[in-house]
Structure 1
């Protein structure tokens, strides 16, 4: 699977799914994590599961809630028809093995969202067969270490 460009779409905004699919992105990330308020999680899961059941023209991944989250089991059920999962706040091979024990889907970890994750980057080689690649998160790590922001006022990353 070639993943040069990934377009995130909030899972509770089903009216955006078709337009996003026509955007030219290599894959869509249907988001059940940060872009969905807790009160909208169930509706988002239903919308994502319905969209995954439709014919598709590009890979569809689902960003589930992190390991240990109360939402993860329901997220995995909704994402059963996906081409892969995005795992936020992954902390190396142990996170991939933990999620991999619960699903056969390929995994795209967000590898840089916690301080502990930074020290586990080398361990992903152990679980490379389960991975779609690695990606990074620019917002959670600065927040975790007390940085004020990772973006300039115009939206560019610092």
Structure 2
């Protein structure tokens, strides 16, 4: 599994083993089996035991696992479970301590995907991104909203206004770039059966520079993948840009009344490459 190439990651509760194979067949790039928030405390030991047996039957590097936090009673057993060859990487909740991340990577010998989801984590973002073993950053907006006392999520039926998270999301993108990490993965979209809303949310994340999305239901996989594909308008625009580039051999040129220079041409090439990749 190429952690850097993942774009759609689907959560599945660790206490629902009947869903594991269905999640693998959902079309998502990878699944995250969740031992943390999705599992009640009374079921965590059993979930860990059952998951361990299931992992023994899986091919190497086939799934990701979200463990319980370092201060929890289940942390040690979760770390032991993650030594399984089937575990490609560990999703770390509420990551705030860069030294703890380094130690976890050393103990498990697995890449880490830390959730950045608190004010303290954002103040230590550079140190977290630079910690040895960290492969990619994840955004946890629900815990961040709770930590900051934000008015989110809204009551059912009211629109999901994501503008309050713009600063936090942009910080993740910028920091990942500075530290040479793959583009971060954006937070979940909480409305399960709202494909149009999910597609719009995902495209906003792509405009900000996110490289993929966390999903909570198989019904979200197709809309997320649709959002990842360049639109017909983007492809048409890119073709016009690249045709102009060929005429002027890379010089600055006006296309449809807009200046086009080297970065714009590079963006057009990226769109066409992405469109070509989607067809393979």
Common topology (TM > 0.5): yes
Query: Structure 1 residues 95, 153: closer, same or farther in 2, change over 3 A?
Result: farther
Q: Tell me which residue corresponds to 1:143.
A: 146
Instruction: Assess if the C-alpha contact under 8 Å between 1:28 and 1:58 holds in 2.
Output: no
Match of 2:118 among 111, 114, 118: 114
Match of 1:71 among 49, 74, 83: 74
**What is the CA-CA distance between 1:98 and the residue it aligns to?**
3.0
Query: Structure 1 residues 125, 144: closer, same or farther in 2, change over 3 A?
Result: closer
More helix by share: 2
1:60-139 correspondence runs (5 A): 60-81=63-84, 82-91=87-96, 93-111=98-116, 113-127=117-131, 130-139=133-142
**What is the CA-CA distance between 1:34 and the residue it aligns to?**
0.3
Query: Structure 1 residues 6, 58: closer, same or farther in 2, change over 3 A?
Result: farther
1:51 equivalent to 2:71? Answer no
**What is the CA-CA distance between 1:67 and the residue it aligns to?**
1.5
CA distance in 1, matches of 2:98, 2:81: 24
**What is the CA-CA distance between 1:125 and the residue it aligns to?**
4.1
What TM-score comes out, normalization by structure 2 length? 0.52
SS state at 2:20 partner? helix
What TM-score comes out, normalization by structure 1 length? 0.88
More off after superposition, 65-74 vs 7-16: 65-74
1:2-34 Cα distance to aligned partner (Å, 9 max, x none) = 211110000000000000000111111010000
More off after superposition, 25-34 vs 116-125: 116-125
Count of residue pairs brought into register by the alignment: 156
Mark the structure with the bigger radius of gyration.
2
CA distance in 2, matches of 1:133, 1:116: 18
CA distance in 2, matches of 1:141, 1:134: 14
**What is the CA-CA distance between 1:93 and the residue it aligns to?**
2.6
**What is the CA-CA distance between 1:78 and the residue it aligns to?**
2.1
CA distance in 2, matches of 1:62, 1:39: 19
Query: Structure 1 residues 44, 151: closer, same or farther in 2, change over 3 A?
Result: farther
CA distance in 2, matches of 1:15, 1:43: 14
1:29 equivalent to 2:32? Answer yes
CA distance in 2, matches of 1:26, 1:108: 15
Instruction: Assess if the C-alpha contact under 8 Å between 1:27 and 1:58 holds in 2.
Output: no
CA distance in 1, matches of 2:47, 2:146: 26
